[in-house]
Structure 1
Amino acid sequence: MDFAALRKTSKVTTEWTYPQGQALRTGWLRVDTAPDHELYWEEYGNADGEPVMFLHGGPGGACAPVMSRFFDPARYRVILFDQRGCGQSRPTVAADGPEKALAHNTTDHLVADINALREALGITGKMHVFGGSWGSTLALVYAIRNPEKVASLILRGIFLGRQEDLLYMYQGNAATFETQPYALTEPGAYITYPEEWKAFVEVIAPEQRGDIMGAYKAIFDSRPSTDEGRERQLQAAVAWSVWEGTISNMIPAAADPGKFGEAAFALSFAQIEAHFFANDLFLKPDEITDGVGALKDVPVHIVHGRFDQVCPLTQASRLVQALNAAGTPPATYVRTDAGHSAMEGQTVLALTAIMDGLPRI
């Protein structure tokens, strides 16, 4: 029997409500000098509609036209943009090196970039802010600091970026993997994806596995001068990228990692993530959960996959707890039977329904 043929996918198939539209406008916006960071942006939907600022994940991911399909094109003016160092923004790690792409690349810079893009695109009133994974982190930080500019927050796959959250995804049982590869010595995503975890861990020498993120970061920080060294760095970046890309789906496409296996994407994605993670996302401890009182006039809508292994459901629970304690309970809290990816069927349906049901600005 061909069991592979019997595998179902959790990814979106026919769940989309709205067709893929064409971009109304595209462009680059210079937001910094030395280095000259330029953000690539695209606009979809109704040029006179309610503005939606879409914040992609990572840090280090990128936008794609399909991300505009969550929104009614007759109602919304949708802004997609690639954050510093990402996608088609310039410079990038892959094309220009980490010295340029990671310079002036912090959460504070990204928050300022959102305001710069607002101004450049003539958005003067409130806007909806829509973000998933790292995009949910950035959306929350932005809204806490700029509540007067936000009509509503629509968040998917909540990521709070605590050390325990990162250890769950990247450390797991790595320290004991050499002698007990399938022992459940620590909590972690490896429990659900053991073979994929093996490929991720074995890039690092056994004696360095007590700090997997640190070992990977050391490889990314090296400046290889030989083909062998460059290949080693690329191997590490792809392994890092494919690990996250694979476990983002409840039912992964094992034979096709997609963009996560592509060299240019992986080099930028992995190194930007490692850069932010090594610096605690450039946030103060508990900055988000301590700051949600600022959202008293901002409706917060949350969608989280029950089987999310990149950002386990407990992170959404922490956020809801903080919102309730601040007297600002979420307007919506939906737990889908899905994993982490925004492109899983139930999550697509939930996010689209929320956007369709929002009060008009």
Structure 2
Amino acid sequence: MSADTSLYPPVEPYASGMLDVGDGHRLYWERVGTPGARRAVFVHGGPGAGCSAAHRRLFDPHGYDVLLFDQRGAGRSTPPASLQANTTAHLIADMERLREEILQGETWLVFGGSWGSTLALAYAQQHPQRVEALILRGIFTATRAEMDWFYRSGVEQVFPDKWARFIAPIPVAERGDLLAAYAQRLQQGDAASRLAAAQAWCQFEDEVSVLSFQADAGATAEDAARNLAIACIENHYFCNGCFLDEGQLLRDVRRLAHIPAIIIHGRYDMPCPAKYAWALHQAWPEAEFHLVEGAGHAFREPGILPLLRQATDRFAQPPVTT
């Protein structure tokens, strides 16, 4: 089954807008589907990646009323790439504002992949009474070991050529702490230098996130702005341990034991090694767990996308009629 046939047909939002959440931030949000159907929120990855039109197509528009939003500094939210007042606690509070003011529901299904799984878990552990169900893909529990795997020693053993390109902009003397070295280049210097660092950061992540990488035809100004937001915000979060206590998400997972949940993870996921998804599964055996053979990290990987579609279909409900 191709990726396109695993997604629902293209759908346009029936409502959208900007929500002022304070600290100078305004969040872009949109709603797709059918008012009165199961409420859900899509939590995008990165952090900093923003939502896309393809994300809308993961949900049956007749069975869901889905809120998608761009987190602080990401996508269409403003100011772009802003690190000011941008922490996990701020994003959890933003989700509650969106639930109360935009979706206007007491509870919702929470769907998150990659960093979105991190934020979904953190949100659900803080507000378990608000979560009807969880769908999680590409588990990232934000431990130091996971970040060291990607930015110190791990991924480069599988992708030495791509790693060489990633570290090339960094002098040898600074390569012992690539997060700090990239932070300096992403947050200082002229615009061209910052964009070059962002391009190197995002190219490495993109190339190792799928088993078969195909480069886009050509970069655009929109791509450059997106890369800068992703690189700056990801680096900001990773330099700060994602603003979570070490091991917090596994420590507090028993708070979710009563919540129906489906976890989907690619066996050959390079950014987020499967051992951490397995650890979450061991700590949370009530959650349904799928370790997908022949799949990497991205949501459109073969094997992963059909399972995501099946998961959203399982929790869908018909619209409420009056």
Larger of the two Rg values belongs to structure: 1
1:54 aligns with 2:20: no
Instruction: Please give the per-residue CA displacement for 1:250-290, whole angstroms capped at 9, x wherever unaligned.
Output: 10114658789921111111010111111110011111101
Residue identity opposite 2:312 in structure 1: M
TM alignment of 1:319-334, pairs within 5 A: 319-324=280-285, 329-334=286-291
Instruction: Please give the per-residue CA displacement for 1:312-344, whole angstroms capped at 9, x wherever unaligned.
Output: 1111011112214xxxx2134342421100122
Q: Residue 38 of structure 1 aligns with which residue?
A: 26
Change (3 A) 1:348 1:114: same
Determine which of 8, 13, 24 is the counterpart of 1:23.
13
CA contact (8 A) 1:16 1:69 kept: no
TM alignment of 1:343-358, pairs within 5 A: 343-358=300-315
- TM-score normalized with structure 1 length: 0.83
Residue identity opposite 2:19 in structure 1: L
Q: Residue 242 of structure 2 aligns with which residue?
A: 281
CA contact (8 A) 2:42 2:69 kept: yes
Superposition CA RMSD, Å: 2.0
Q: Return structure 1 stretches of 4+ with deviation > 6 angstroms.
A: 257-261
How many angstroms does 1:220 deviate by? 2.1
CA contact (8 A) 1:242 1:257 kept: no
TM alignment of 1:1-361, pairs within 5 A: 13-33=3-23, 36-93=24-81, 101-172=82-153, 188-222=154-188, 224=189, 229-254=190-215, 256=217, 262-324=223-285, 329-358=286-315, 360=317
- TM-score normalized with structure 2 length: 0.93
CA contact (8 A) 1:15 1:348 kept: no
The count of aligned residue pairs is 318
Change (3 A) 1:252 1:260: farther
How far apart are the structure 1 equivalents of 2:25 and 2:66? 22
- Unaligned 5+ runs, structure 1: 1-10, 94-100, 173-187
Identical-residue share of aligned pairs (%):
37
- Unaligned 5+ runs, structure 2: none
Higher relative contact order at CA 8 Å, sep ≥6: structure 1 or structure 2? 2
Residue identity opposite 1:28 in structure 2: M
